[in-house]
Amino acid sequence: MKKHNFSAGPCILPQGVLKKASEALLNFNNDDLSLIEISHRSKSFVDVIEKARSLALELLGLENKGYKALFLQGGASLEFLMVAYNLLNKKAAYLNTGTWSDKAIKEAKEFGEMVEVGSSKDEGYTFIPKGYSIPEDADYFHCTSNNTVAGTQMKVFPKTNIPLVCDMSSDIFSRQLDFEKFDLIYAGAQKNMGPAGTTLVIIKEDILGKVERHIPSMLNYQTHINKDSMFNTPSVFAVYVSMLTLQWLKDLGGIEFIEKVNNKKAALLYNEIDRNSLFKGIVAKEDRSTMNATFVLTNKGLTETFDKMWTEAGINGIKGHRSVGGYRASMYNALPLYSVQALVDVMQEFERKVITE
Ligand SMILES: *Cc1c(COP(=O)(O)O)cnc(C)c1O
């Protein structure tokens, strides 16, 4: 039986998607060729990437609204730099909510003045700063919607007249937001959309062309827009699996449907963390992520017992990030509710065991 996979990324994908993807490796479209041995310019593959791009916009409700969807390479980490390269003339504003925001800030600093409008770094990123103000003369404002490592999530986004840029790597397609508020959204595929190797970038074309510097072709969003995301060879397999996952989500009922499931999963686990005296959540309750739940044992001495129990129950990937410790259960779209129930069952069994011994 397949394990209950709480891995933070790369992470669980729908079983049906994995099956279709493995079939395509041997014989794609009944062409008697593998998906990964045909030209990326063949009609078979161009159809795939076009479908992936249009599904992404459709699911976010951004069709015909001036947005382009691109499948690029270099991970979300390259976007840290590309965003600044393409948008930062003099000054940028960033909200520092986690290790990934911090890395984005480090890259952007190479390009101009940096205003950190708020930060929870000194408190271990255990909450989302609030009440900050954004300088309206900055070229853009950058934030991270979900902090994969610490387990916090922005529930509200600021109103601002400057372009709003968001790293949504670990919660894109997981909840409904007013996506039209954003001018540029990026997300590494491997958290909620597909395998590692491609990054989705959703961009409003009219924010480009405003910096004075020369931008190398591969780092220029306009290049990729002009070439429909086919300036060079895309990660064909990663794009294909992302397309299948987006199609899976659409068939289920889209973001509206999956958000309800995600809320149920998160409520189930957080209720147990709060109820069970052997566990304690790490971050501020109002900022808790529905995707990545972080928690610790109240008695560290019981680590070995608990670890043995969840491992034996077929649970994978709940060890916390090395920088935080404790546990992190990632509950991305493809993780079924019964997997969360399996984890909660182990937590309750653990409680019974500790109390009776
Ligand atoms: C994983 C992650 C990244 C880094 O993604 P790569 O594709 O490995 O570069 C950036 N931001 C967030 C929020 C992430 O979760």
In a domain, residue 8? The reply is no
Q: Which one from 139, 167, 183, 287 is the annotated catalytic residue?
A: 167
Last residue of a domain, one of 237, 252, 267: 252
Ligand 1 atom closest to residue 145's alpha carbon, by position in its atom list:
13
- If asked whether residues 95 and 120 sit together in one domain, one would say yes
In a domain, residue 161? The reply is yes
* Chain-centre distance for alpha carbon 108: 20
Last residue of a domain, one of 222, 252, 282: 252
pTM for this entry:
0.98
- If asked whether residues 198 and 61 sit together in one domain, one would say yes
From first to last of its 357 residues, the chain has per-residue pLDDT tens of: 899 999 999 999 999 999 999 999 999 999 999 999 999 999 999 999 999 999 999 999 999 999 999 999 999 999 999 999 999 999 999 999 999 999 999 999 999 999 999 999 999 999 999 999 999 999 999 999 999 999 999 999 999 999 999 999 999 999 999 999 999 999 999 999 999 999 999 999 999 999 999 999 999 999 999 999 999 999 999 999 999 999 999 999 999 999 999 999 999 999 999 999 999 999 999 999 999 999 999 999 999 999 999 999 999 999 998 888 899 999 999 999 999 999 999 999 999 999 887
- If asked whether residues 167 and 284 sit together in one domain, one would say no
Q: From the CA of 75, how far away is ligand 1's center (Å)?
A: 7
- If asked whether residues 189 and 259 sit together in one domain, one would say no
In a domain, residue 330? The reply is yes
Which tokens hold the place of 205?
């074309």
- If asked whether residues 124 and 149 sit together in one domain, one would say yes
Q: From the CA of 117, how far away is ligand 1's center (Å)?
A: 21
Domain of 132, CATH number, reads: 3.40.640.10
Contact of 28 with 164, CB cutoff 8 Å: no
In a domain, residue 3? The reply is no
In a domain, residue 9? The reply is no
Q: Both ends of the chain: CA-CA distance in Å?
A: 31
- If asked whether residues 227 and 206 sit together in one domain, one would say yes
Boundaries of domain holding 344:
254-356
Contact of 81 with 107, CB cutoff 8 Å: yes
Last residue of a domain, one of 221, 252, 283: 252
Q: Which one from 191, 248, 265, 310 is the annotated catalytic residue?
A: 191
- If asked whether residues 324 and 240 sit together in one domain, one would say no
- If asked whether residues 245 and 316 sit together in one domain, one would say no
In a domain, residue 104? The reply is yes
In a domain, residue 46? The reply is yes
Output the DSSP codes for 40-107: TTSHHHHHHHHHHHHHHHHHHT-TTTTEEEEEESSHHHHHHHHHHHHH-SSEEEEEE-SHHHHHHHHH
In a domain, residue 10? The reply is no
Can 310 be counted among the known catalytic residues?
no
- If asked whether residues 265 and 245 sit together in one domain, one would say no
The number of distinct structural domains making up the chain is: 2
Strands 152-153 and 146-147 come out as antiparallel
Residue matched to tokens 């970038």? 201
Q: Could you give phi then psi for residue 61, rounded to 5 degrees? A: 70, 35
Sheet holding 292-297, edge to edge: 279-281, 292-297, 327-330
- If asked whether residues 68 and 172 sit together in one domain, one would say yes
Residue 200, C-beta contacts closer than 8 angstroms, at least 6 positions apart = 56, 69, 70, 71, 172, 185, 186, 187, 189, 193, 242
Largest alpha-carbon pair distance within the chain? 69
Count the helices and strands in the chain (H runs, E runs): 9, 14
- If asked whether residues 229 and 264 sit together in one domain, one would say no
188 close to ligand 1 (CB < 6 Angstrom): yes
- Tell the residue nearest (CA) to atom 13 of ligand 1: 169
9 close to ligand 1 (CB < 6 Angstrom): yes
- If asked whether residues 200 and 295 sit together in one domain, one would say no
